[in-house]
Amino acid sequence: MLADRRGHAVTAELPPSCGALSSALIETLEDGHPLGSPTVGSSDPYGDDLQLALYIAYEMHYAGWAGVPDDREWDPEILTFRRELERHFLDAVHTDVGPADDFSSAHTEMNRLCVEPADGDGVSFILRDSGSWQQFRDMFAMRSLYHLKEADPHAWAIPRLRGAAKAAYVAVEFDEFGGGRAEAVHQELFADLLAAADLRPDYLAYLDGAPGWALAPVNLMSLFGLHRSLRGATVGHLAATEITSPPGSQRLLSGLERLDAPETCRHFYAEHVEADAVHEQILRHDVVGELVRAEPDLEADVVFGIRGFLLVEDAFDRGLRSVWEQGTVLV
């Protein structure tokens, strides 16, 4: 198994299945037998089984899976199955986001992201005001499914952009990848956070048993990033991520300070408070603004990316709050 410079595993073992879809995919990756025709259309598009199957399929384009040959990334049968999963998921997101005719301008949508209540009931508000260290650790574990590959899904858009929008987009990604310094890569900072919180810093260590609501935010950005036709949605998703990050990160930082949490945990969010405030302005004007100017037909896709981000992030919040309300411990 491959490991990073700290000895943390970066190629994960295939997780246990949680239904017919994930079971069929895992079995074909393990033994090479034909995948067959698992029924996708009747499954819950946001459910644990479909989201796990989609996450497993996408991971073939990231670090891969231990024991699975790399060339299976382009296995036609797996790609066909992945496409069915994607369509079912994307259809649900389109339905829940609403028709494009109802979309406002990208500028208006980004402005709306900046309007927040002083005292909300989301996860970051709970963790700021009254969250326990165990609740923080639950959140860390579920967010590790993204943060240990932070910026990777959005990087797929780079070769699909041109001119000023591309240059500005790369500038944001450059910061996400540590500005050329390995120790400052945001993925590495989160691995350090996990270790400081006495959690496993290995890549995808908490995929086993992760609910659909924790997988869907990562799957949506992978879906956007891997399709050129959705490059506008990728840009919108990144814009929403960066615009909402500074206030959310500040609330999490305040909660960690309240609990006198390890400095390494605080550092991750302090970095996002500062860096993402700059990224917001770059994305607003130099990425989204330039992209819409050059390709006005993509504006609806940018808005779709923003609203899709909000849809799955709100579901993540509801899912984690439900766990806490039930008194369940995730890690």
pLDDT string in tens for the chain (331-residue length): 556 656 666 789 999 999 999 999 999 999 988 898 889 999 999 999 999 999 999 999 999 999 999 999 999 999 999 999 999 999 999 999 998 788 889 999 999 998 877 778 899 999 999 999 999 999 999 999 999 999 999 999 999 999 999 999 999 999 999 999 999 999 999 999 999 999 999 999 999 999 999 999 999 999 999 999 999 999 999 999 999 999 999 999 999 999 999 999 999 999 999 877 888 889 999 999 999 999 999 999 999 999 999 999 999 999 999 999 999 989 9
Q: What is the DSSP string of 235-258?
A: HHHHHHHHHHHHHHHHHHHHHHHH
Instruction: Please check whether residue 245 is in contact with residue 80, taking contact to mean a CB–CB distance below 8 angstroms.
Output: no
Tokens 């849809």 found at: 311
Q: What is the CA radius of gyration of the chain?
A: 19
CATH number of 105-325: 1.20.910.10
What's the farthest any 2 CA atoms get from each other in the chain?
54
Sign for the CA dihedral angle at 125, 126, 127, 128 comes to positive
Tell me the backbone φ, ψ of residue 183, rounded to 5 degrees. Answer: -70, -15
CA-wise closest residue to 230 among 169, 171, 308: 308
Query: What kind and span of H or E run contains 171?
Result: helix 163-176
User: 48-59 and 76-97 are packed helices; what angle lies between their axes, rounded to 10 degrees?
Assistant: 130
The confidence score (pLDDT) of residue 277 equals 80
CA dihedral 244, 247, 248, 251 (to 10 degrees): 180
122 token code pair = 């989301």
Q: Based on the number of CB atoms within 10 Å of its own CB, is 305 exposed (0-12), middle (13-18) or buried (19 or more)?
A: buried
| Domain ranges (residues) in the chain | 20-97, 105-325
Instruction: Please check whether residue 47 is in contact with residue 239, taking contact to mean a CB–CB distance below 8 angstroms.
Output: no
Instruction: Please check whether residue 127 is in contact with residue 252, taking contact to mean a CB–CB distance below 8 angstroms.
Output: yes
The confidence score (pLDDT) of residue 7 equals 60
